Structure 1
Amino acid sequence: MTFGDWPPQRRIGLTGGIASGKSSVAALLEKRGCPVLDADVYAREALATDTSASKAVVARYGKRVQKDGTSDIDRAELAAIVFNDPNERSWLEQLVHPIVQRRFDDALRSLPDAPIVILMIPLLFEAGLEKWCSEIWVVRCTALQQRERLMARNNCTEAEATQRIAAQWPIDIKVQRADSVINNSGRIDDLHDQLDALL
């Protein structure tokens, strides 16, 4: 799938560092009437109970990734595995990313007349999906804000937060590749103003 395969449409790739505020920006865009396609939602659905991907995860890691003796995936335990081992993270990405890509493909086919579609993809650059987008917006905040937000959101230690941030591309590299940069280190009114200017 490439951007050229589709009718003229603003396909905005929304990305940025972990816990930088992508979801907050996406929510504001959705309120403005822009459909938001969320890679994280598709990834969670891919690992839902008894899917082929979740069965593959259990086959690889066993009971340690099963929640309370059920067939549900313990996402916290799975995250601990893959963020501690780049090889395991690569294996999981190779399992889940094709499923997520098919979901994007189906969703985009259902929105041919939407003038703007938001593709929220945290690992957009890492996965080489720039070709899906007509433009790319990167959300950023300060390094301290990012770390503190991640610790609060995931109830993790500073060391764990630092490790997860380091697992992604440095934000400065993403900023260099962006068409537009959204600064999410200030007030909500500032976000509104930036989005008004970009849309």
Structure 2
Amino acid sequence: MKVIGLTGGIGSGKSTVSDYLRNKGITVLDADQIAREIVLPGKEALKELLAYFGEEILLENGLLNRKKLGKIVFSDPDKKLKLDQIMHDKIRSQILKKLQDESSQGAPYIILDAPLLLETGMDRIVDQIWIVEMQDTLRISRVMKRDNLTEEEVKARISQQMSTEEKRKKAHSIIDNSSDLENLYAQVDQLLANL
């Protein structure tokens, strides 16, 4: 089974590509979804986060307040590092388990949608890397609207990710999302045909 790592900077359109692939019946493992699952109430990752960051990172219903935690870690590199130490190994472990499960099902390939694929070293578990790209100005405005963040908050998040130039060096394929959906989907279809 081939594992295709799909990544891209925040707001690049990676989720749009993932949704398109899912709609075509292709299995997509979503690292962000796994990250949300491992911090549900009672889970070990949430306990570790609470021990370090305190109860103020919880919503009233006991769920993790991801927006509040984001504000904390994206303004303090040491706290961001601690978050990464708590989360990344647990996410990777879940991904490896799910990949093993899918492999036993006989799927010819699977997509691993991971925003920090390269930053976390998960590129070592994939056979190909597809990167979705979009102009920074468009990405910033898109994320500001989508996540109700200021321009400075979005730029702080972008600064925590690997640069586009560095990602390009590791990419097997680049998906250019600077045009319309028809063009985007045509590029994805071509990549699938090449598999």
Q: TM-score, normalised by structure 1?
A: 0.92
- The count of residues paired between Structure 1 and Structure 2 equals 190
Query: Which residue number in structure 2 is paired with residue 73 of structure 1?
Result: 64
Query: Which residue number in structure 2 is paired with residue 25 of structure 1?
Result: 17
The alpha carbon displacement at 1:106 in A equals 1.5
Query: Any conservation in 1 of the 2:128–2:172 contact (CA below 8 Å)?
Result: yes
Calculate percent identity across the aligned residue pairs. 37
The alpha carbon displacement at 1:71 in A equals 2.8
Query: Which residue number in structure 2 is paired with residue 14 of structure 1?
Result: 6
Query: Any conservation in 1 of the 2:92–2:122 contact (CA below 8 Å)?
Result: no
Q: SS of the residue aligned with 1:108? A: helix
1:64 matched to 2:56? The reply is: yes
1:171 matched to 2:132? The reply is: no
The alpha carbon displacement at 1:43 in A equals 0.5
Most deviating of 12-21 and 46-55: 46-55
Structure 2: gaps (5+ residues): none
Deviations 1:40-75 (A, max 9, x none): 00111111112111111112122321213x432211
The alpha carbon displacement at 1:183 in A equals 0.7
The alpha carbon displacement at 1:92 in A equals 1.0
Query: Which residue number in structure 1 is paired with residue 118 of structure 2?
Result: 125
1:99 matched to 2:90? The reply is: yes
Letter in 2 for 1:62: G
Give the Cα separation in 2 of the matches to 1:167 and 1:73.
21
Give the Cα separation in 1 of the matches to 2:173 and 2:108.
18
Structure 1: gaps (5+ residues): 1-8
After TM superposition, which residue ranges in structure 1, 4 or more long, deviate above 4 angstroms? none
1:43 matched to 2:35? The reply is: yes
Give the Cα separation in 2 of the matches to 1:18 and 1:78.
17
1:158 matched to 2:151? The reply is: yes
Q: SS of the residue aligned with 1:80? A: helix
Give the Cα separation in 2 of the matches to 1:50 and 1:153.
29
Query: Which residue number in structure 2 is paired with residue 90 of structure 1?
Result: 81
Letter in 1 for 2:45: A
Query: Which residue number in structure 2 is paired with residue 192 of structure 1?
Result: 185
Deviations 1:18-39 (A, max 9, x none): 1111110011111222100011
Give the Cα separation in 1 of the matches to 2:187 and 2:26.
16
Q: What is the RMSD computed on CA atoms of the aligned residues?
A: 1.1
Query: Any conservation in 2 of the 1:50–1:71 contact (CA below 8 Å)?
Result: no
